[in-house]
Chains A and B, each alone.
Chain A
């Protein structure tokens, strides 16, 4: 038996929470994406040659969508969970007739919505500002959805483990941001020496970026099927981890 009203309520709380502070949760990603487009499009692009026959600004845009998506999805769940812990709100959920599964699912959906909203808005900006051609719109949405879900789940794992904002910032700054930048947002891995190329294959974000790049530009450093399987695998892995952890309650109860 599922507490549907409870699940819906917590989900709408999570979605409402980030929309109520859209200046913090939606606008910054858009501004930085527009800045990338302006800086690369109007200044640097003339000095940087095309990559795989694509103008540089267009080449980086799928990566920007992915970076925006995964950063927002993961920070929604991680910061919301940590905030709940620090502000003594978590007992309201843990003493209610909600299962760990329902609580985790509501959080993951909340983070997924934020990831998708941010990813799709950057996509729209790309289409409007630089005529980004979207080769396979369904595939693009599928990648944005899977990555949102996977990183929202990952954020929930982080939020359960973390006990301070400092710890969360550490994961973000030392793990997510470097992996995104090294995942090929700004370059094709063919431009790297072979040892660096081999290292890139270990970076899951590399597959996400190349997957969405293929669905938009039909260009990718890896087969799109590999990227899709990696996205599915990450989604299953992080979702299972987040659900099991929440259901056990080990990190949030004494």
Chain B
């Protein structure tokens, strides 16, 4: 079996004259928690829709555990569970029945599906509503049902398209905890999001996508260190003679303004002790220290010149 759960190479897709994907490359290792981060319309949903068989690609390849998603679609789709961004509706059946149908589509009969469905209804707080129809559920419950539906065949890979869009803060944190739990049990998770916090908190690696192209890939920490704008600002006491200030032993760039010194550093946590030590050794009195931590938002801004939520 391939070490990669998902390999997407040079994926291209156009709608009439719009280039939705311009050669997307993504590699996701088995067991990885991966985020596809980008603004609305960047190409996130198109990428996963091609991966899961909802959209035809123009060119390129998608492999799931080394198998082509078009040629070996039965095998690759069995390994994927997907919670789509758009909530589906059903007028006819209870949510429990819908979960049995979903399991059936994946070749799992009622008897074999029962324990998993009971477990998911219980785990996602839907047990009391199992006889309800989808339209009788609240928005949050519908979202939880969608995750249950994605997990009903116990897939190795879970794909979540904007799972917390339009979800209240409490449920968002519940879902995050559940996703962490699933990841700790070995599931590979591919998450698309335009929430910076979500990507930073959950993902081991992210790809930043905009206008159908992957702009940068790496762990949130690597990316913010490389492309972020974090820094340490030291406020000195008023009577410090700024002109005499020479902090040559420090490897960081710094700027001085009145009695404030700002160091541009990649990692403020590592830099603070060095800065304090250096300033103390020169008998410079420190009034206060403030760190500014960079986020993936800064990285996105740096790469594209625009905000992710623009």
A residues engaging B (CB < 8 A)?
1, 3-6, 8-10, 13, 16-17, 20-21, 83, 87-89, 91-99, 249, 253-254
With a CB–CB cut-off of 8 A, which chain A residues contact B73?
97
Specify which of A6, A16, A17, A99 lies most central, judged by the most chain B CB atoms within 10 Å of its CB: A6
CB-based contact A92/B92 at 8 Å? no
| Stretch among B26-34, B104-112, B242-250 lining the A interface | B104-112
CB-CB contacts of B78-112 with A at 8 A, as 1s and 0s?
Answer: 10101010111111110000001110111111000
**Does any Cβ of A come within 8 Å of B53's Cβ?**
yes
Known: A1-B74, A253-B55. A88 touches B105 (CB 8 A): no
With a CB–CB cut-off of 8 A, which chain A residues contact B87?
88
With a CB–CB cut-off of 8 A, which chain B residues contact A1?
74
A116→B170 CA distance, assembly (Å): 51
With a CB–CB cut-off of 8 A, which chain A residues contact B56?
249, 253-254
Q: How many B residues are at the interface, by size bracket?
A: 20 to 34
Known: A3-B74, A9-B101, A97-B73. A91 touches B89 (CB 8 A): no
Of the candidates A21, A99, A249, the one whose C-beta lies within 8 Å of that of B92 is A21
- Chain A, residue nearest B56 (CB): A253
Of the candidates A87, A88, A97, A249, the one whose C-beta lies within 8 Å of that of B74 is A97
What are 5 A-B interface contacts by the 8 Å CB criterion? A5-B104, A10-B105, A16-B93, A83-B91, A91-B82
CB-CB contacts of B100-126 with A at 8 A, as 1s and 0s?
Answer: 111011111100000000000000000
A94→B73 CA distance, assembly (Å): 10
A89→B92 CA distance, assembly (Å): 12
CB-based contact A95/B107 at 8 Å? no
With a CB–CB cut-off of 8 A, which chain B residues contact A94?
53-54
A1→B49 CA distance, assembly (Å): 25
With a CB–CB cut-off of 8 A, which chain B residues contact A249?
56
CB-based contact A89/B88 at 8 Å? yes
Of the candidates A8, A13, A20, A92, the one whose C-beta lies within 8 Å of that of B149 is A92
Report the minimal beta-carbon distance from B4 to chain A, rounded to whole angstroms: 20
With a CB–CB cut-off of 8 A, which chain A residues contact B75?
97
Known: A16-B93, A17-B92. A91 touches B105 (CB 8 A): no
A4→B104 CA distance, assembly (Å): 9
CB-based contact A20/B84 at 8 Å? no
Of the candidates A5, A9, A20, A88, the one whose C-beta lies within 8 Å of that of B88 is A88
A10→B90 CA distance, assembly (Å): 14
Of the candidates B49, B89, B106, the one whose C-beta lies within 8 Å of that of A97 is B106
CB contacts under 8 Å to A, within B126-149, are 149
CB-based contact B105/A92 at 8 Å? yes
Known: A3-B74, A17-B92, A97-B77. A91 touches B102 (CB 8 A): no
CB contacts under 8 Å to A, within B145-164, are 149
With a CB–CB cut-off of 8 A, which chain A residues contact B74?
1, 3, 97, 99
- Chain B, residue nearest A13 (CB): B101
Known: A95-B82, A249-B56. A20 touches B104 (CB 8 A): no
A16→B101 CA distance, assembly (Å): 11
Known: A20-B92, A21-B92, A96-B77. A91 touches B54 (CB 8 A): yes
CB-based contact B93/A3 at 8 Å? no
Of the candidates A10, A17, A254, the one whose C-beta lies within 8 Å of that of B104 is A10
A99→B55 CA distance, assembly (Å): 15
CB-based contact A20/B102 at 8 Å? no
- Chain B, residue nearest A96 (CB): B105
Known: A9-B105, A10-B104. A95 touches B77 (CB 8 A): yes
**Does any Cβ of A come within 8 Å of B52's Cβ?**
yes
Specify which of A21, A83, A96, A253 lies most central, judged by the most chain B CB atoms within 10 Å of its CB: A96
- Chain B, residue nearest A4 (CB): B107
CB-based contact A87/B90 at 8 Å? yes
- Seed contacts A88-B89, A91-B82, A97-B77; 10 additional CB < 8 Å A-B pairs: A9-B104, A10-B101, A17-B92, A21-B92, A87-B89, A93-B105, A95-B53, A96-B106, A253-B54, A254-B49
Report the minimal beta-carbon distance from B92 to chain A, rounded to whole angstroms: 5
- Chain B, residue nearest A18 (CB): B92
CB-based contact B107/A97 at 8 Å? yes
CB contacts under 8 Å to A, within B1-43, are 15
A238→B189 CA distance, assembly (Å): 42
With a CB–CB cut-off of 8 A, which chain B residues contact A10?
101, 104-105
With a CB–CB cut-off of 8 A, which chain A residues contact B109?
5
A5→B105 CA distance, assembly (Å): 7
With a CB–CB cut-off of 8 A, which chain A residues contact B93?
13, 16-17, 20
- Chain A, residue nearest B112 (CB): A5
CB-based contact B92/A6 at 8 Å? no
CB-based contact A92/B88 at 8 Å? yes
Known: A5-B109, A6-B105, A9-B101. A95 touches B80 (CB 8 A): yes
CB-based contact A6/B104 at 8 Å? yes
- Chain A, residue nearest B15 (CB): A254
With a CB–CB cut-off of 8 A, which chain A residues contact B91?
83, 87
Report the minimal beta-carbon distance from B116 to chain A, rounded to whole angstroms: 15
Of the candidates A5, A8, A95, the one whose C-beta lies within 8 Å of that of B52 is A95
